[in-house]
Structure 1
Amino acid sequence: MGFHVDSEAGRLRRVILHRPDLELKRLTPSNKDALLFDDVLWVRRARAEHDGFADVLRDRGVTVHLFGDLLTDVLGIPAARELVLDRVFDEKEYGPLATDHIREAFEAMSAGELAEVLVGGMTKREFLDTHAEPTSVRFHVMELDDFLLRPLPNHLFTRDTSAWIYDGVSINAMRWPARQRETVHFEAIYRHHPLFRDESFNIWSEGQADYPSTIEGGDVLVIGNGAVLIGMSERTTPQAVEMLAHKLFAAGSATTIVALDMPKRRALMHLDTVMTMVDGDIFTQYAGLGMLRSYTIEPGVGDKELKVTDHPPEHMHRAIAAALGLSEIRVLTATQDVHAAEREQWDDGCNVLAVEPGVVIAYERNATTNTHLRKQGIEVIEIPGSELG
């Protein structure tokens, strides 16, 4: 069997991680909001914590592919390099007077240099250190320390930009401009990298071309039995859910989607920040989430039709159980006061990663949630993560 994800709680065999580097060093108090971060991070500590996380995965038998290595590899392939440069250096972004000049400069870089600046960014000053200034209004109005190419610190969160759903991958259209360039990097990797190009798998989406129908991987949980649980958050739209449903159903890869109507708030930006799967019938859930209106989506009579069943909030867990072919699911929520619960949710208390059924990796700072999971029979492997966003 090739690349395939049948359940969030199945045995994890391969993963793509991004080791933080220059792009986090570019994060400042003045740009952190635009780059979707709540604070600046201590980069050296972030790298050490990320290395520790990767080592824990390797110790569990998981093959870890580093995104930076994959991107460097693929930028050495002419078709992939052309795809990336065509998408990044567009006249709508740089203007007709500067685009060709800037693209030629980046085209001349080695694969390693190009990968570094595509993720880490480049200022006007850095560009002028080695290249002539183009005759361009767009270029002239920039301050020397303005970013000619913005850094992409959110590449740290590789789960969001693409999501494997049964026998295919969704290369996602991202909601906010700070993340939209990430998509083209993953598109180049999945279409051209030797690890993937000779494998047979479906591609469920058209990348950023699907915008404004956006979907992010943190909202997508593959729960098994041909079912997918999706949070319609501030970053995942109902129309994107419908488009994904059509693709999955047409291929026969899934039979049911349960879509949750989530609050549109930054603190609850993705479903996996408030609810994750830890075993075949067991989920963690943040108490403050409450019960949500849900929609069961199934194939309709015609090719373009979908059958949609609305459920009131009190039937949320029942809808998920039905999609799994079960009479009920277990939902684990630690007992704590509202303030402590909110703190742990902010610190990703419910955002655990299952590496096999009943075994999860969790941040050590969420002591109450981790203790509760252990009391319920879940093995919890704790890692530090104070600087991992």
Structure 2
Amino acid sequence: MVKHYVGSEVGQLRSVLLHYDSLAFERLTPSNCHELLFDDVLSVNKAAEEHNQFATILEEQGVNVLYLNKLLGETLDIPEAKAWLLDTQLSDYRLGKSLAHSVKTWLGELPHEQIARYLTGGLAYSEIPEPFFKPLFDSYDWEHFVLKPLPNHLFTRDTSCWIYNGVSINPMAKAVRRRESNNLKAIYRWHPLFVKQDFNYYLGNESVNYDNTTIEGGDVLIIGRGAVLIGLSERTSPEGIEALAQSLFNTGQAKKVVVIELPKDRACMHLDTVLTQLDINVFSAYPAVINDSTRCWTLTPGVNNRLGIKQELGYRQAIMSALQLSDLKVITTGGDIYGQEREQWNDANNVLTIRPGVVIGYECNTLTNDKYLEAGIEVLSFEGDQLGRGRGGARCMSCPIERDGI
């Protein structure tokens, strides 16, 4: 049985959630890729090979790999979950009452594995058998989607993140990613792996309009010892940080939240694209963004359900204080300023630590990988030429469910 606890970024990784389904990428085209937050289309077969390399490394290192679509299909076996998912993802307000009813009637008879594929990979109007295609007005473009594909489900880190003994099902910043959260809500609420387990919900378990409160898991680093590092970024708002921090403190799952300000820029859309933890006192950082001038604050529980806030002199001092460290080693992205920019864009800093001093990352980032090795960090590398086109590396593509503390 998986223990639902993530106590750090660098303790032994024991169980992780991944996702790769070719259907969403088969539907990624030059005309829709930017809307779907990809820089280009992918070679579907090559991307699948790369993702398989990633999963194989994890399994060879003793990590239990769970797959989102498999869990989603198994969740659909539960009638209440199936009804909720179909009503939520194909609501009357999304499709109109006539079409929503007929599509749900047709989908509901399909094998649950196929329904799961449509929920993540997208469903085109042209795939609906004619007897069930019953919109009120005959004005639909059959090349378009009833459900848009969700290629960003690849980045399982963002949609939900486990923080100590609890999970945040994150209110996503981009509209094209918000349906992802519903798939995770159903899995965590009904799947047998989770339904009888004792864990906290921080955000996302309520039916509320989160409005400006957005947060994504790539901005959340569980650095251990009751501390959490959060990026104030393009995707994570001040309101999102305040809500998550307050929930962490109210449940007693964190004592400090360190907030690091990032430029509102796609190149560093999440904190983990410019800063990750490789060992208890070792971090990787992109120096053009993470440096001594980067603004940083520490949040602590305050009185009357308010937050205490202190502006820090720098991120190093804030992290050392949170982790009770006397020193902090920072390995910067490899190369000159041009090489650093290229390798950061290709996720050189977005590595997944599987135990202290051992990380997984893309093999193309040779300059940075060499610096890791020189510093005593072991790099288990895999190809990522296709996967990287979504602007995410090994950490982005993994949602730890169980990890030791430090």
Q: TM-score, normalised by structure 1?
A: 0.95
Counterpart code for 2:187: I
CA offset digits 1:98-121 (Å, max 9, x no partner): 322222222222211211111111
Using CA pairs below 8 Å that are at least 6 residues apart, which structure has the higher relative contact order? 2
Q: Distance in 2 between matches of 1:238 and 1:152?
A: 26
Matched, 1:184 2:185: no
TM-aligned CA deviation for residue 148 of structure 1: 1.3
CA offset digits 1:185-222 (Å, max 9, x no partner): 01111111111111111111125843431111111000
- 1:301 — aligned with what? 303
Q: Distance in 1 between matches of 2:131 and 2:263?
A: 48
- 2:329 — aligned with what? 330
Report the structure, 1 or 2, having the larger helix content: 1
- 2:356 — aligned with what? 357
- 2:402 — aligned with what? none
Q: Distance in 1 between matches of 2:229 and 2:132?
A: 51
- 1:34 — aligned with what? 35
Counterpart code for 1:146: H
Between 1:216-225 and 1:329-338, the stretch displaced more is 329-338
CA contact (8 A) 1:321 1:328 kept: yes
RMSD: 1.5
For structure 1, the 5+ residue unaligned runs are none
Between 1:341-350 and 1:13-22, the stretch displaced more is 13-22
Q: Distance in 1 between matches of 2:101 and 2:127?
A: 18
Q: Distance in 2 between matches of 1:15 and 1:216?
A: 17
- 2:91 — aligned with what? 90
Between 1:243-252 and 1:24-33, the stretch displaced more is 243-252
| Residues 1:107 and 1:339: Cα distance change in structure 2 (over 3 Å) | same
CA contact (8 A) 1:174 1:211 kept: no
Q: TM-score, normalised by structure 2?
A: 0.91
- 2:218 — aligned with what? 218
After the TM superposition, which residues 128-277 of structure 1 pair with which residues of structure 2 at under 5 Å, given as runs?
A: 129-137=129-137, 140-206=138-204, 209=208, 210-277=210-277
Q: Distance in 2 between matches of 1:197 and 1:272?
A: 30
SS at match of 2:6: coil
Counterpart code for 1:229: L
Counterpart code for 1:34: E
CA contact (8 A) 1:91 1:99 kept: yes
TM-aligned CA deviation for residue 271 of structure 1: 0.7
Q: Distance in 2 between matches of 1:54 and 1:175?
A: 28
TM-aligned CA deviation for residue 335 of structure 1: 4.8
TM-aligned CA deviation for residue 84 of structure 1: 1.1
Q: Distance in 1 between matches of 2:179 and 2:211?
A: 12
Matched, 1:105 2:109: no
CA contact (8 A) 2:272 2:349 kept: yes
CA contact (8 A) 1:359 1:380 kept: yes
Between 1:91-100 and 1:7-16, the stretch displaced more is 91-100
CA contact (8 A) 2:103 2:132 kept: no
CA offset digits 1:17-70 (Å, max 9, x no partner): 112311100000000000000010001011111111111100000000111110
- 1:23 — aligned with what? 24
Q: Distance in 1 between matches of 2:33 and 2:146?
A: 17
Between 1:184-193 and 1:105-114, the stretch displaced more is 105-114
Percent identity, aligned pairs only, is 44
CA offset digits 1:339-373 (Å, max 9, x no partner): 11110001001011000001001110000100001
